[in-house]
Chains A and B, each alone.
Chain A
Amino acid sequence: MHAFDYHRPATIKEAASLLRKTENSRVLAGGQSLIPTLKFRLSKPSALIDLAGIGELRGIKLDGATLTIGAMTTHSEVASSKDVAIGIPTLARLAAGVGDRQVRNAGTIGGALANNDPAADYPAAVLGIGASVHTNKRVIPADKFFTGTLETALRAGEIITAVAFPLPKRAAYVKFRNPASRFALVGVFVAEGAGAVRVAVTGAAPCVFRVKEMEKRLGEKFAAEAIAKITVPPGTLNSDIHASAEYRSHLITVLAQRAVAAALAGK
Chain B
Amino acid sequence: MGINLSLTVNGRAVSADVDPRTLLVQFLRDHLRLTGTHVGCDTGQCGACTVHLNDRAVKSCNLLALQAQGASVTTIEGIGEPGKLHPMQEAFRAHHGLQCGFCTPGIVMNAVELARKHPNPSEDTVRAELDGNLCRCTGYHNIVKAIVAGAAAMKQ
Contacts and interface: CB of A to CB of B under 8 A. Distances in A.
A8 B68 CA distance: 12
A31 B69 CA distance: 14
Interface in A100-145: 100-103, 105-106
Nearest to A38: B21
A184 to B, nearest CB: 15
Nearest to B50: A102
A8 B63 CA distance: 15
Contacts of A100: 47, 131-133
A20 B21 CA distance: 22
Contact of B63 (A35, A53, A99): A35
A64 B67 CA distance: 35
Contact of A32 (B20, B57, B62): B62
B69 A102 contact: no
B67 A52 contact: yes
Contacts of A4: 20-21
Which of B1, B21, B110, B129 has most chain A Cβ within 10 Å?
B21
Given A36-B44, A101-B132, A103-B44, A6 B57 contact: no
B129 A101 contact: yes
**Dominant secondary structure at the A interface:** mixed
B63 A105 contact: no
A104 to B, nearest CB: 9
A102 B20 contact: no
B116 to A, nearest CB: 11
B57 A101 contact: yes
B28 interface: no
Contacts of A6: 3, 20, 64, 66
A102 B59 contact: yes
Interface string A75-108: 0100000000000000000000001111101100
A102 B58 contact: yes
Contacts of B43: 36, 39
A3 interface: yes
B114 interface: yes
B131 A101 contact: yes
B90 interface: no
B111 to A, nearest CB: 10
B59 A103 contact: yes
B110 A102 contact: yes
B69 A8 contact: yes
A99 B110 CA distance: 14
A151 interface: no
B64 A102 contact: no
B29 interface: no
Return the 6 tightest CB-CB contacts between A and B, nearest first: A100-B132, A6-B20, A100-B131, A105-B56, A102-B132, A102-B59
Given A6-B64, A39-B43, A99-B132, 17 more contacts: A3-B1, A3-B21, A4-B20, A5-B20, A6-B3, A6-B66, A31-B64, A36-B44, A52-B67, A53-B69, A100-B132, A101-B114, A102-B47, A102-B50, A103-B44, A103-B62, A105-B53
9 contacts: A8-B66, A32-B62, A35-B23, A35-B62, A35-B63, A35-B64, A36-B44, A102-B59, A105-B58
